[in-house]
Every structure is written in C-alpha cells, then in structure tokens.
Amino acid sequence: MRKFARTLTLAFSAGALGGLVNSLCLWLAVKYGFTAALGVSLSAPMTPAWLYPRIVWGGIWGLLFVIPLWEKNVFLRGLFFSIGPTLVQLFVIFPLRLGKGMMGLDLGTWTPAFVVLFNALWGWSAAAWMRWTNR
C-alpha cells in the first residue's frame, strides 16, 4: 500500500510539474510572438489565476502515470498520456467552455497543432520526472 501511495504522489507531482512546463512554454511562445506569427491568438497571462488551475489540472491528469505502460520509454509514455488532456482541450474546453469553435479553430488554424505540442511537452516532462524519481 505504501508503494501505491508513493506512486500516486509522484504521479500527481509529475503532472503538476508538467503543467508548469506546459504553461511556461506556452507563455514564452505567446510572449515572443511565435503563436501570433502562425496566426494563432492564444493568450497566456502569467498570473496566479491563469497558472494555478493549469498546474492543478496537470497534477490530476498526471494520475494517468500510475498506469505501468512504457515505463522505460519517456517519449512514448509522455506522448501517449498527453492524448487525454489534448482531446479534452480540443473537443470540450475550446468549443463548450470557451466558445472558440471545435478544436479551437476560431483562434487560428494552427491551434490544434499548438495544443498537441504543448500537451506533449506536459507528457514528456511528467514522464521524465516519473522515471527520474522511480530509480
């Protein structure tokens, strides 16, 4: 039971770290005009109100890392587990909660690609943290 509790704690912290990495990368991409250069109007205000829920939801999604799948392959594991949050962002959050169209296309044609990229960064950093802490 202690091992499972440790794994749960590590998975949540890995996801939270991934949420921080995702947020910082998105913030930098917006700040330096990378998203705007490709016609995507994402916003990333580096405020506690913007950052805190992203870190917490990152931790919640990080609980997927309890599943012992591809534990030795950080790339595949991170990419695979990033599919869940990506699908929710593209098909629930953007269209239903934010009213930005299916897959956020009202924000720009390249929006889905950015969502895939930034969520992959979440997954890779979380998978790397899990691997590093489970030595």
Ranges of the chain with pLDDT below 50: none
For the chain, give the mean pLDDT: 94
Q: What is the pTM of this model?
A: 0.91
pLDDT digits 0-9 by tens, 35-51: 999 999 999 999 999 99
The 3-class secondary structure across the chain, one letter per residue, is CHHHHHHHHHHHHHHHHHHHHHHHHHHHHHHCCHHHHCCCCCCCCCCHHHHHHHHHHHHHHHHHHHCCCCCCCHHHHHHHHCHHHHHHHHHHHHHHHCCCCHHHHHHCCCHHHHHHHHHHHHHHHHHHHHHHHCC
* Domain positions in the chain: 2-133
